[in-house]
Amino acid sequence: MILIQKFDMTTRFLSLKEITLIMQELLIPKEAYEAVWDINLEFLKEQQITTLILDLDNTLLSNKQRNLSIQHLNWLQKCKDNGFQIYLLSNNRSKKRVSRAASQIECNGFYLAMKPFTFSIKHLADTYNLNLKQCAIIGDQVFKDVILGNWLNVYSILVEPIDKTMSIFTRAQYTLERYLTKKLK
């Protein structure tokens, strides 16, 4: 016998306070820094973070750079020396660009990640047997890196973009991101 039942769903609108709380949960990073080398690695270790998932473009490399700077390479080596695993997760569509950076860092990298969609980070976690609760995602964009991290309850860290010269569209996006995060705090 098949039981067919009417599903009764009452319409309820969210209050402005509820919407604000949801936006805060999604858009506010756990930490924010000027650059990656300002990140307190000891504090991350205290938080049981073992893995750093890094964005590439404008987080580790400007759009004009082909190779990582000595300062970035030194910081990444310091992360490894402190026991952190490093992975690249980039929306960049160039396999060559992401591969070049990953080989410089001596880590694994994923390109065409389509952040903030979650399938790429879930694939990374499944492939390398990572516990996302022990990961931090580090990037320069709220609408991609921070939302992805916060959506999956991954420790999110926002850094300022390396390259301040950007297209009108990207500039508008950064301006909106910064406005919203300041307004929601």
Return d(Cα 3, Cα 133) in angstroms, integer: 41
- Name the band, by pLDDT with cuts 50, 70 and 90, for residue 10: low
pLDDT at 43: 98
Helix segments in 28-118, DSSP class H: 41-46, 70-81, 95-105
**Selected residue with higher pLDDT from 179 and 101:** 101
- Name the band, by pLDDT with cuts 50, 70 and 90, for residue 82: very high
Domain count, the chain: 1
Q: What is the rounded average pLDDT of the residues 64-90?
A: 97
Q: What is the rounded average pLDDT of the residues 82-108?
A: 97
């604000």: which residue's tokens?
20
Q: What is the rounded average pLDDT of the residues 178-183?
A: 83
Of the chain, the percentage scoring pLDDT greater than 70 comes to 94
**Selected residue with higher pLDDT from 36 and 175:** 36
pLDDT over threshold 70, residue 104:
yes
- Name the band, by pLDDT with cuts 50, 70 and 90, for residue 126: very high
Return d(Cα 119, Cα 117) in angstroms, integer: 6
Residue 107 included in any domain: yes
Domain of residue 158 covers 29-184
Give this prediction's pTM: 0.88
Return d(Cα 162, Cα 112) in angstroms, integer: 20
Q: Among 117, 35, 62, 50, which Cα is nearest to 87's? A: 50
**Selected residue with higher pLDDT from 6 and 161:** 161
Residue 59 included in any domain: yes
Q: What is the rounded average pLDDT of the residues 4-28?
A: 76
Residue 146 included in any domain: yes
Residue 72 included in any domain: yes
Q: What is the CATH number of the domain that holds 142?
A: 3.40.50.1000
pLDDT at 5: 53
Residue 7 included in any domain: no
SS3 113: coil
pLDDT over threshold 60, residue 181:
yes
Residue 5 included in any domain: no
Residue 18 included in any domain: no
- Does residue 54 contact residue 159 with C-beta atoms inside 8 Å? no
Q: What is the rounded average pLDDT of the residues 163-180?
A: 84
pLDDT over threshold 90, residue 39:
yes
Residue 129 included in any domain: yes
Q: What is the rounded average pLDDT of the residues 14-33?
A: 89
Q: Classify strands 135-139 and 155-159 as parallel, antiparallel or unpaired.
A: parallel
